[in-house]
């Protein structure tokens, strides 16, 4: 057995590369793909003490598991790293030089705008196959039809089926990394065989969110179908691999399937979104202790993002989920980017977005703080839509003149003061999430929320 170079610290997550059957009483058996957490190093560096998902502890061989790492930020992941966009026939031929039979790429056709061309190197020359777009399907020979380019490439990789050769080696676009390779390398690729999709629990423009069963555990699964949309969600998944906090919805892994798209598997949050939870329970069920707890849960997650220089950009009660044991966790990293990147303005939720972010596209932790103030208002109004009785077009002009929403009914004055601090037009005068957590902890400790 090879020795382990540097021991992994306690709490490190790893994923099993092989099956391991216990041969001694202290061993912890596991199956390939299981996620384990290191408890401690043993005297022998080839063995770790670890625990599994249900908390059982035991000894495991170090070389049977792979450490889970975050996908490196800045890595340009692609579901289609062989797709080179709009390049000419001549450029494609230069990219496929020196000739190597089975080397291929796909480009956008210059002769047929909107269509694609599959370019394949074969016996020293390059063949160009026009991919026809017909009745929302793709085909080369008008005999076999595909939903998307990934399916088409998968088909011709396993079978030449009339082409000069089957596809052997993709010519990767410079700077891109194949998503499947990167998720496998960093220990986040799951196997579709282990996942059962049970029922739809939500619908989005990107596809469905489904309740699933992954190796006997309930999970939530975002099923993203289309090439372009799936590509956008890779960014969300890669951000989630870097994030670990008890108040952030935890990514369990990613499945990249050529035939059916992308699946992002996360922990299942049994009680749904915080906004629906607040609306359905209301004042008669949820006392002030619940409201301050939810406020702190979200604040702690946001302090963690702040410490890691990440900006959420879409913080709202609809994007906070509630677990079976009433823990609120921030989800939906669809807009999350490293601090200060710019964003498509068409999709921004006006009532939750800070004025400077709407006006100048300036996103920062301080714009998240503004949104947190609105989320606090949602919590203490039991899920009402912010800025009631104000037309959407009038919200921004009024806010920029200094308008602040009134306190929700029965909201403790100390909590309303926190909201108002979040809504300072001067970003420098807004508190940090660390300061907000300290204020909320003080309110909770002194029972000022009652």
Of 216, 172, 214, the closest CA to residue 81 belongs to: 172
Of 355, 350, 424, the closest CA to residue 393 belongs to: 350
Instruction: Give the separation between CA 182 and CA 185, rounded to whole angstroms.
Output: 5
> pTM of the predicted model, to two decimals?
0.84
Instruction: Give the separation between CA 212 and CA 210, rounded to whole angstroms.
Output: 6
Question: Which residues, including other chains, have CB under 8 Å from residue 26's CB and lie 6 or more apart?
Answer: 58, 59
Instruction: Give the separation between CA 150 and CA 86, rounded to whole angstroms.
Output: 18
CATH for 273-335+346-446, options being 1.10.510.10, 1.20.200.10, 3.40.50.720, 3.50.50.60: 1.10.510.10
The pLDDT value recorded for residue 226 is: 65
222 belongs to an annotated ligand binding site: yes
Look at residue 180 and give its three-state secondary structure. helix
**Exposed/middle/buried for 425, CB within 10 Å: 0-12, 13-18, 19+?**
middle
Of 115, 112, 117, 128, the closest CA to residue 164 belongs to: 128
The gap from C-alpha 232 to its chain's centroid, in whole angstroms, comes to 10
Domain ranges of the chain: 12-66, 85-170, 195-267, 273-335+346-446
Q: What is the dihedral of CA 269, 270, 273, 276, to 10 degrees?
A: -170
Half-sphere exposure of 112 (CA within 13 A, CB side): 11
Residues 363 and 343 sit within 8 Å (Cβ to Cβ): yes
Instruction: Give the separation between CA 284 and CA 294, rounded to whole angstroms.
Output: 17
Quick one: three-class SS letters along 335-360? Answer: CCEECCCCCCHHHCCHHHCCHHHHHH
Angle at 213 between CA 294 and CA 273, to 5 degrees: 25
Residues 288 and 450 sit within 8 Å (Cβ to Cβ): yes
Which CATH superfamily includes the segment(s) 12-66? SH3 Domains (2.30.30.40)
Instruction: Give the separation between CA 170 and CA 180, rounded to whole angstroms.
Output: 14
Give me 256's structure tokens: 């990249």
The pLDDT value recorded for residue 449 is: 75
The pLDDT value recorded for residue 111 is: 83
DSSP string, 382-400: TSPPSSTTS-HHHHHHHHH
Fold of 195-267: Phosphorylase Kinase; domain 1 (3.30.200)
Residues of the chain scoring pLDDT < 70: 1-5, 205, 226-228, 258-260, 334-347
- Which CATH number applies to 85-170? 3.30.505.10
Residue-wise pLDDT tens digits, 100-145: 999 999 999 888 887 899 999 999 999 999 999 888 899 999 999 9
Enzyme catalytic residues:
314
The gap from C-alpha 37 to its chain's centroid, in whole angstroms, comes to 21
End-to-end CA distance of the chain: 61
Of 220, 187, 185, the closest CA to residue 201 belongs to: 220
The pLDDT value recorded for residue 53 is: 86
């Amino acid at each position: 057995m090879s020795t382990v170079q540097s021991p992994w610290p306690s709490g490190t997550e790893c994923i099993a590369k092989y099956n391991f059957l216990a041969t001694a009483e202290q061993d912890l058996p596991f199956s390939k793909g299981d996620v384990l957490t290191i408890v401690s190093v043993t005297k022998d560096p080839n063995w770790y003490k670890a625990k599994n998902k249900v908390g059982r502890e035991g000894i495991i061989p170090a070389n049977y598991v792979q450490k889970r790492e975050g996908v490196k930020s800045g890595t340009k992941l692609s579901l289609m790293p062989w797709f080179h966009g709009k390049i000419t026939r001549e450029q494609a031929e230069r990219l496929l030089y020196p000739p190597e039979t089975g080397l291929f790429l796909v480009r956008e056709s210059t002769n047929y705008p909107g269509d694609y061309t599959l370019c394949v190197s074969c016996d020293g020359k390059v063949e160009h196959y026009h991919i026809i777009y017909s009745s929302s399907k793709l085909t080369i020979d008008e005999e076999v039809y595909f939903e998307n380019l990934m399916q088409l490439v998968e088909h011709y990789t396993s079978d030449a089926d009339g082409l000069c050769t089957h596809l052997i080696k993709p010519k990767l676009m410079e700077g891109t990394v194949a998503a499947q390779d990167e998720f496998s390398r960093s220990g986040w690729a799951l196997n579709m065989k282990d996942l059962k999709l049970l029922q739809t629990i939500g619908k989005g423009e990107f596809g469905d969110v489904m309740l699933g069963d992954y190796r006997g555990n309930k999970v939530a699964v975002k099923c993203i179908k289309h090439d372009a949309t799936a590509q956008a969600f890779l960014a969300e998944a890669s951000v989630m691999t870097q994030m670990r906090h008890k108040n952030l919805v935890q990514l369990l892994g990613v499945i990249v399937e050529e035939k059916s798209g992308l699946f992002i598997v996360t922990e299942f949050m049994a009680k749904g979104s915080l906004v629906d939870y607040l609306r359905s329970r209301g004042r008669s069920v949820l006392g002030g202790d619940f409201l301050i707890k939810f406020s702190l849960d979200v604040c702690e997650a946001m302090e963690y993002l702040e410490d890691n220089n990440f900006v959420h950009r879409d913080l709202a009660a609809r994007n906070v989920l509630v677990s079976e044991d009433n823990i609120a966790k921030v989800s939906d990293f669809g807009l999350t980017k490293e601090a200060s990147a710019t964003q498509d303005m068409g999709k921004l939720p006006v009532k939750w977005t800070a004025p400077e972010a709407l006006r100048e596209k300036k996103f920062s932790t301080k714009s998240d703080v503004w949104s947190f103030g609105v989320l606090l208002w949602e919590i203490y109004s039991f899920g009402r839509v912010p800025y009631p009785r104000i037309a959407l077009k009038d919200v921004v002009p009024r806010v920029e003149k200094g308008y602040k929403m009134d306190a929700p009914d029965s909201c403790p004055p100390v909590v309303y003061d926190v909201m108002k601090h979040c809504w300072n037009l001067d970003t420098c005068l807004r508190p940090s999430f660390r300061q907000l957590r300290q204020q909320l902890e003080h309110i909770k400790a002194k029972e000022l929320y009652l």
